[in-house]
Amino acid sequence: MNVIAHRLGTRFLGWIRTAPDHLIRILGDRERPQIRIMAQREIGLRTSLDSQHTLMDGLGSDAPGIRRSAAWALGRFGQPSDAERLVNAMRMERVDVVRFAMGVAAVSCGVDPVNVRTDLDRASRRQLEGAYGPRDVGEYAGFGLREIADCWNLLELAQGSTRNEFRARAREVFGFDEDNRDSVIRLALLSDPVDFDALSGMWRTAGRRMRLTLTRAKGLHGDPRWIPSLLQSLFAMDVDPGHGFALRSEAALALGRIGVPAVGPNMVRALEVEALEQEGRPGAGLGIQRSVRTALLAALGELQSNPKALVQYLDNTHGTAGGGHYLAAMDALWKVGVSTELKEVGQGTGMAADNARAVLAALSL
């Protein structure tokens, strides 16, 4: 799982929060996603730093987490001159959580929130036409119409809002009522690295329902320091089946939303573990209703990584209440983009080939 390496990196990532301005400028241009995500968020917090070029470059990064943190920081600056660039990036973006972050940042820069919501809702209604005809695929990574509406309402966005006063209100409610799950999600959606310790401190005394909420919150918060704890949850074996399937599903989606592609091999390993060790155990029928593998496939799409693993599911029509894993794999491959693996499968025959060609057709539009 490489959890130890991620833990060692977490210490350094925490140090970035206290690094001097000149080092933040340097680290903001680094290519290692965990470092650049943290540095870009610090740039957003330290609005006196002259690093707009770094953030604009970040919007074009290959790593989803870097694009997301760059958008977040630009939203913190709230410059109307950045609005058009953010809207254009949002409309081109295929990763759901990044698209949402770009939309929120655009509103902070003065864009009408009604127009942003229209774009986000349209993207969530996307379809792919494969072997069984057109199918809705916009729900698999968790950012369907309901999630967008819930998150939007919790953020209480208004045109040109800076989120500073709203964050203060969120922390106030959070402090008085730590069992208020909406407050936890609201605080997570603000994605402020300052709130990492407050959210982290809740885990030890949290009950099962709150732990599921906190796991979801980690992905929405997007801080790469969450990666070690999420990997532990993803591979947790000492939990009862009902809670275990739900926890691992939430952990998978959260890891995808943080957007560090290096986590991809862990997700592929989790796919194997889930199929071999979990789905055959007593109580595994619960995994049909809450499919961890579907969440893992969706997460690989949010990471835009590992197409070789994804193409293996293009003809999978069993194992979930929704009729298999092929739709989640198709949507994830659409997010990854054109790849050698996808092209090779598309040259063949059968259901997998039909679905691969459907993804390629959608990417060519």
pLDDT of res. 30: 75
6 lies in a domain? yes
* 311 vs 318: CA distance, rounded Å: 15
User: Consecutive sets of 10 residues in the chain, 365 residues long: mean pLDDT of each?
Assistant: 56 89 87 92 85 91 97 93 97 98 94 95 95 91 92 74 58 59 89 92 89 96 97 84 87 98 97 76 51 95 98 88 86 97 96 97 88
Long-range contacts of 167-175 (CB under 8 A, 24+ apart): 167/192, 171/195, 171/198, 174/198
236 lies in a domain? no
0.85 surpassed by pTM: yes
210 lies in a domain? no
Q: Give the angle subtended at the CA of 162 by the CAs of 159 and 166, to the nearest 5°.
A: 100
- 47: containing domain: 1-111
Q: What is the CATH number of the domain that holds 87?
A: 1.25.10.10
pLDDT of res. 287: 47
Beta partners for 127? Answer: 136
Measured CA to CA in angstroms, residue 331 lies from 35, 125, 321, 336 at distances of 28, 12, 18, 9
Sign of the C-alpha dihedral, residues 111, 54, 34, 31? positive
* 142 vs 215: CA distance, rounded Å: 13
pLDDT of res. 8: 46
pLDDT of res. 179: 65
| H/E segment holding residue 186 | helix 181-189
pLDDT of res. 44: 92
Asked if residue 48 lies in contact with residue 33, where contact means CB atoms within 8 angstroms, the answer is no
The dihedral region occupied by 112, where left means phi > 0, alpha psi between -120 and 50, and beta the remainder, is beta
Strand ranges (DSSP E) for 58-195?
Answer: 127-130, 133-136
230 lies in a domain? no
277 lies in a domain? no
Measured CA to CA in angstroms, residue 241 lies from 35, 212, 280, 297, 301 at distances of 36, 14, 11, 20, 26
pLDDT of res. 47: 78
2 lies in a domain? yes
Strand ranges (DSSP E) for 108-233?
Answer: 127-130, 133-136
Half-sphere exposure of residue 358: CA atoms within 13 angstroms, side-chain side: 27
Tell me phi and psi for residue 130, to 5 degrees.
-105, -145
pLDDT of res. 286: 47
Strand ranges (DSSP E) for the chain?
Answer: 127-130, 133-136
75 lies in a domain? yes
* 160 vs 92: CA distance, rounded Å: 22
Given the structure tokens 């953030």, which residue do they identify? 55
Could you give the number of structural domains in the chain?
1
Q: 3-class SS at 262?
A: helix
76 lies in a domain? yes
